[in-house]
Structure 1
Amino acid sequence: MSSQGQVSSVSATATIASAASTIIDATSSYSVAKSSGAATSVRHEQANVEHVWYGILGLLGLATAVNSSYLVWSIFCRYGARHVRSTASAQPSGRVALRRLPQAVLSLLRIVSFRMRIPYVDMTLLELLLAVMYVGGCLVWSFAPKDNVLPRVNLAPATWAGNTGKIAAGQLPLAVVLALKNSPITWLTGIGHERLVPVHRMVSRCIFVLVWLHLAGVYIQSPAKFINEGWKVAGLVGVVAQTITTIFGIQQIRRRYYEVFYSSHVVLILVFLIAVHIHCIPVKFDMYMWAVWAIWGFDRLVRAGRYIVFNLLLPSTSPEALVECIRAKGLRVTLKRKIPGGWKAGQHAFVAFPKLGIESHPFTILSVYDKDEGSGEAELVFIIRAMGGQTKTLLDLAMPTGSCELTALVDGPYGHPEDIRPFSTCVFIAGGTGVTYTLARMHQLFRDVLASNACTKRVVFVWAIRTEAESQWILADLAKIVALAPQSLSVSVAVFVTGVSHDRAIVHSPTLGKDCDLAKALALSTLARSDCHSSVSPRMEKEVDGCDEKTDEGFSDSQGSGMCTPTNAGTDYFDSGVSTPTFPACADTALPLSPGGITRRFGRPDVRNILEEEVTASEGAVAVDVSGPDGLVNAVRSALCQPFAGPAATLRGTPTVMLSVEQFRM
């Protein structure tokens, strides 16, 4: 090639490289001069946003397949319980059996994916892996070259600015779907909306990173044209709104100032979506925003329809709820509604009191579904720990007379509790108001066993509370449910009072076995409710710090059910070990009762010992349900990571263990 041709070629290449910095769309054509004087068109491939969705849909498909397989297995086991004579399973022989390799793999996956938490990030290995895959995939698709054609425009600010903006807009429908109360993801995968909140937060923060990269790329490309048009100003407004709500969403700020976070989140996200929609119209990317509005509108229509149907079109005999004071800053809320289809044990509902404001709060339903044949109504019972805000106002209203009646609006049920009917042994562990979840689950399980619709042979119920006064919350309910336990079941029920020292004078509640005096128990419970002004020690009435109430669009740091339970207890609060005194079953602080009765003990429950004994002695698969403060939940997770529940033990015949956690992480 002549020197003139080389100069011409280099000049053309330099011109192309310079022009690349002005590209907004990743699909571009370049004219490259050849020595013959002719030109050829070079076209770079565009970053396709739909390709990111292929990975997302693939993960959803996998989760749906796993959920479907579990449902089929559950139906098969329950069919066997109804139609096949049960036979005792052989105890573990201690010898390795390769035929149990699938169960061992399942145990290993459950431990590494759902129970082991990564230090400092408060995530399980599966959650961390999904976060890295998702965020990494979006970034790679924004910066990686889509072809091998020169010049490389993928690293030009204009190119990755356009890519990050498009991918961020394309992920907005996913972020909205994950925040819905009526999410199609829940219907497909069986994952409740409260468990999708961390995933929603992950997607939102990924969009936050992409939006700022888009902003930086556009500014680097042309500072003079950064906000020279209205649609660009709208984009900047959206970035500012999302940045503020992301800052308020930081865990330490969110939990300390939850009411501020919630109010600002509602307003600023609405501003963000409107501004982004305006920004996307000129670049023909507003179809994703129309999808956002359609998804959000569908959820609002469903929720509004439920409010209208449950509270207006299907009126109850009384629209008012009975709010009773039950000691230890506890409230018992009882109301009746016609709920088509009823609810599952362990689900929650949103309750609003118009007299106190328009906001609604989620509470786990303590009662199981019992429809009155005459009126068609069912009674919903909630146990609430009065903290601040609306629940404190409820307590103030009920305090003077011990109870009050308020008009209440109900929306629900929500949540997707796991089906525990196929399991041979069911262990329920709760702390504080988390008992509303486990007690309802145990009550429904007893009914299923009586109807020959469950395979359960052994039930263990553990409830940890800080003060004796809290035991009055559900004393009568617990007595009735234990008395209804089928004779075929082996039942163990224990209440641990953790805030009382071992050498303190002990005041025992009545022994409640299957032959207990229910009328006496009910009278005692009623007396406790009316005894709101009875003198108790400051220690018993001391409110746990750092516990905020739940609100409509999410949940605060309260990890239990019903209402707020202590969450600032250290991890070792419920742990067992040398430095953590616990009391075994034979301790002199326990009340010896007949099988199936209720045992009251003082001290922290040794959850590792309890779980190891039940798992190693079970004849079949074990289900563990836990609800309560972080310390209790973490102790149960840690215990089920021990060798007795690991793959090696499973190979030797120890049954597999499924852990279900009701933990609202907001």
Structure 2
Amino acid sequence: MDADESLRIARNHLYPKQAWYCIGLFVFIIATFQRISFLHSKFAGRRQTSNASDPEHASVHRRHAFSWRRIPLGLVNSYRVISFRWTLEFGKSYTLNMAEVFVTMAYIIFLFVWTFINTTDLDGHTLDISYWCNRSGMLAASQFPLITALGTKNNIVSLITGISCDKLNYVHRMMCRVVFILLWVHAGSDVVRNAPFQPYFAEQWLIWGLVSMVAFTILCIVSLRPIRAQAYELFFYVHFATALTFLIGAYFHTQNFESTFWIYPCFIIWGLDRFIRFLRLVVFNHSYFGFRSGSTMDATAELLSDDFVRLRFHRPSHFHWTPGQTAYLILPSVSRLPFEAHPFTIASFNSTLFDVPKEQKPTSEKYAEISLAEGNLGSSAPFWKELVFFINVREGFTARLKDAALKGNKVKVFVDGPYGPSPNLSSYDTSVLVAGGSGVSYTLPVLLDIIERVRNGESGCHRVVFIWSIRSVDHIHWIDDVLIRALRLAPPSLSISILIHVTGAPSTIEILPQSYGPNDGAKPVRDDSRSEVVELQDGKAMEISNDSLFAIDSVKLANERPDLRAILRDEVKTATGRMSVSVCGSQSITRSVRGALRFPVSSPLNVANGGPSVTLHIESFGYA
């Protein structure tokens, strides 16, 4: 073994370890900032709750003069704007924020610098192919334990950083694609270095390497966004098969280079995640596994409209979640494979807010005392006693679920979860919740959580704006009873504004079911005992019953798309302290919100002059 070869082998084993040290340091820095942010929110929440209990502080919500002490907070807001609200947009459905762009560019530079650095041989030849040929393969192999971990639901990175697995999924895909290029650099350079290459086809390590690259190439192709969006089930099945084929091939390929220690941890990580998920299934669905005390997980699928299905079933007594979290549902009679799991946001509220016999102190004289016992929950009962999901009908699994709903049969369901973080809005003075269609699954429980925390003295929030954009006015009946009861329970200190925007054709708003009746162009006629006439924000009159949602002054209905930029701009102008904006909707909605909260609305000068410190939470249900 000559000196060049000894040096190459030493660096091939050293550089992947150094790369891991750098990645570990980066994860540690991110985790540190996450913990600091968490502790700051806790501290701010306690201080805000304490001030809210003091009448002298609670009654004062006004801006102060310019303060140098608020400059650091203004700089933090600038960082948020630049990192998460400035975006690169590709077409109408794909967006990368600057934080994602930075991480992507940094990772590409990081891996390729480590590949091509110190590649001058002892004779002075620069970029010697023998130096970086195998090193590129070793560096690529060293990344797969982390890539595998980022693709699992229960991973150590989420545990350390507090970043949910769905947010880390972008990093998982990005790393796969960068490593894919690096592996082709390794394969191509190997062909050039060992030309003619034909004699090597008898080698097992080469055969397994080719099998791995073919599988990985297919995986990267089907994982492209257009394919995932149009044929998600195809991606689901191909992803499982090709990822397993690639790892098996990579294991046997690296045996020749004594570097299987980078590959076999992938099987352990994946197996551990599956084992944890299996335990969750057994715990939450144990009646199916021979335990008599288990719940009967028979779900009711209800067709709310041509595009939406509501799935609801009894909540296991030991299954608990927080607003905004998701659960993976397995429906054997609907899915093509028995282990096929699909994530959906839990629309119901895990609370005892209504589990009292009677509300003793009504929040306003306008409302009489209302019974809150379980038997009087009416159509809102599922939101408190069951697991509820609003599912947007597309193709594949959701289309088959729609067919099951049309038949009216019960469907067996296994639930795995909950997953994802829950936005803790207790420390915010103002919260704006924006949803589009089934995105209300995310914002509705958050609204109910804010009301409960304020009632219990756990939050000093004094204003909530709830914006819901829907295609048809019929969709209002998904949650109208829940909103009525929630608004009646809201304490007087909490100002709530409900803005519902119907984006369908104007004629749709004239076809109001049940208690909603149009008064299109005719002279308004009012029967005070049963109904009243209200004017919509677009100037149209509508007759509604006194017990409907729109009889409440804080609820507004408009037959137009919401002008999110104007609404958010006005809220920022009047808000003080800390302000949270939470969004769950389509790419167009999230783009509008991001654009509304950029400069100059969230400028350092505005914060220094007493404006709010704005935090944006995005829970997009589009294909990532």
TM bin, normalised by shorter chain, reads 0.7 to 0.9
Q: Which residue of 1 aligns with 2:375?
A: none
Superposed counterparts of 1:174-573, under 5 Å: 174-223=146-195, 224=197, 225-312=199-286, 315-338=293-316, 340=318, 342-357=320-335, 358=338, 359-370=340-351, 379-400=386-407, 403-501=408-506, 505=510, 507=512
CA deviation after TM superposition for structure 1 residue 506, in Å: 6.4
Q: Distance in 2 between matches of 1:423 and 1:454?
A: 8
What amino acid sits opposite 1:127 in the alignment?
Answer: E
- Cα distance change, pair 198–589 in 1 and its aligned pair in 2 (3 A): farther
Cα shift at 1:655: 0.9
2:522 corresponding residue in structure 1: none
Q: Distance in 2 between matches of 1:466 and 1:355?
A: 30
- Deviations along 1:353-381, one digit per CA (max 9) or x if unpaired, are 122232221111111114799xxx96211
Change in CA separation of 1:45 and 1:178 when aligned onto 2, cut-off 3 Å = closer
Question: CA separation in 2, counterparts of 1:501 and 1:60?
Answer: 51
Specify the alignment match of 1:131 in structure 2.
104
- Greater Rg by CA: 1
Give the secondary-structure state (helix, strand or coil) at the position aligned to 2:8: coil
Structure 1: gaps of 5 or more residues: 1-14, 29-43, 512-582
SS of 1:300's partner is helix
Instruction: For residues 3-38 of structure 1, give each alpha carbon's deviation from its aligned partner in whole angstroms, at most 9, with x where no partner exists.
Output: xxxxxxxxxxxx99xx96xx597137xxxxxxxxxx
Let me know the Cα RMSD of the aligned residues: 2.8
Q: Pick one of 16, 21, 26 that aligns with 1:54.
A: 21
Q: Percent same amino acid among aligned pairs? A: 29
Judged with a 3 Å threshold, the aligned counterparts in structure 2 of structure 1 residues 303 and 406 are, in CA distance, closer, same or farther, namely same
Q: Any conservation in 1 of the 2:501–2:557 contact (CA below 8 Å)? A: yes
Query: Are the structure 2 counterparts of residues 173 and 656 from structure 1 closer, same or farther at C-alpha, using a change threshold of 3 Å?
Result: same
1:397-450 deviation line (CA, Å, top 9, x unaligned): 3224xx431221100101113211100000000001001100011111111111
Structure 2 residue aligned with 1:162: 134
1:284, CA displacement in angstroms? 1.2
Which one is further off, 475-484 or 189-198?
A: 475-484
Residue of structure 1 equivalent to 2:564: 607
Alignment partners' CA distance in 2, 1:597 and 1:508: 21
Distance 1:119 1:393, change over 3 A: closer
Deviation at 1:319, TM superposition (A): 2.1
Letter in 2 for 1:128: V
8 Å CA contact 1:502, 1:602 repeated in 2:
no
> Could you tell me which amino acid in structure 2 is paired with residue 26 of structure 1?
R
Counterpart residue type for residue 186 of structure 1: S
Deviations 1:613-648 (A, max 9, x none): 111211311000001111111000000014122222
Tell me, what secondary structure is at the counterpart of 1:26?
Answer: helix
Do the aligned partners of 2:538 and 2:559 also contact (CA within 8 Å) in 1?
Answer: no
Q: Which runs of 5+ in 2 are unaligned?
A: 357-383, 517-534, 545-549
Q: Structure 2 length normalisation: TM-score?
A: 0.83
CA displacement at 1:591 relative to structure 2: 8.7
| Native 8 Å contact 2:286 2:295 kept in 1 | no
Deviation at 1:98, TM superposition (A): 1.6
User: In 1, Cα distance between the equivalents of 2:559 and 2:81?
Assistant: 31
Higher alpha-carbon deviation: 633-642 or 249-258: 249-258
Residue 82 of structure 2 corresponds to residue 100 of structure 1: no
Residue 149 of structure 1 deviates from its aligned partner by: 7.3
Give the match for residue 630 of structure 1.
Answer: 587
SS of equivalent residue, structure 1 residue 644: coil
The 3-state SS of whatever aligns with 2:492 is: coil
- Which residue does the alignment assign to 1:645? 602
In structure 2, the CA distance between the partners of 1:149 and 1:623, relative to structure 1 (3 Å rule), is same
Q: CA offsets, 1:491-525, max 9 Å, x none?
A: 000110011238974648758xxxxxxxxxxxxxx
Query: What amino acid is the match of 1:410?
Result: V
Q: Cα offset for 1:154?
A: 6.2
| Aligned mate of 1:598, from 549, 552, 555 | 555
Residues 622 and 594 from structure 1, CA distance in 2 versus in 1: closer, same or farther, beyond 3 angstroms? farther
Matched position secondary structure for 2:432: strand
Deviation for aligned residue 1:47: 4.8
- Residue 319 to residue 623, structure 1, CA distance change in 2 (3 Å): same
SS of residue matched to 1:132: helix
2:9 alignment partner in structure 1: 27
Alignment correspondent of 2:62: 91
Q: Distance in 2 between matches of 1:167 and 1:138?
A: 7
Three-state SS of the structure 1 residue aligned to 2:499 is strand
In 2: Cα distance, 1:640 partner to 1:247 partner: 35
How far is the alpha carbon of 1:585 from its aligned partner? 4.8
For 1:83 and 1:653, the matched residues in 2 are separated by 20
Secondary structure in 2 aligned to 1:603?
coil
How far has the Cα of 1:262 moved from its partner?
2.0
Of the candidates 654, 661, 665, which is equivalent to residue 611 of structure 2?
654
Q: Secondary structure at the match of 2:263?
A: helix
Q: Output one character per residue of 1:135-182: Cα deviation in whole Å (capped at 9) or x when no partner.
A: 111001010117x87334662222211110110010001111111111
Q: Residues 509 and 194 from structure 1, CA distance in 2 versus in 1: closer, same or farther, beyond 3 angstroms?
A: farther
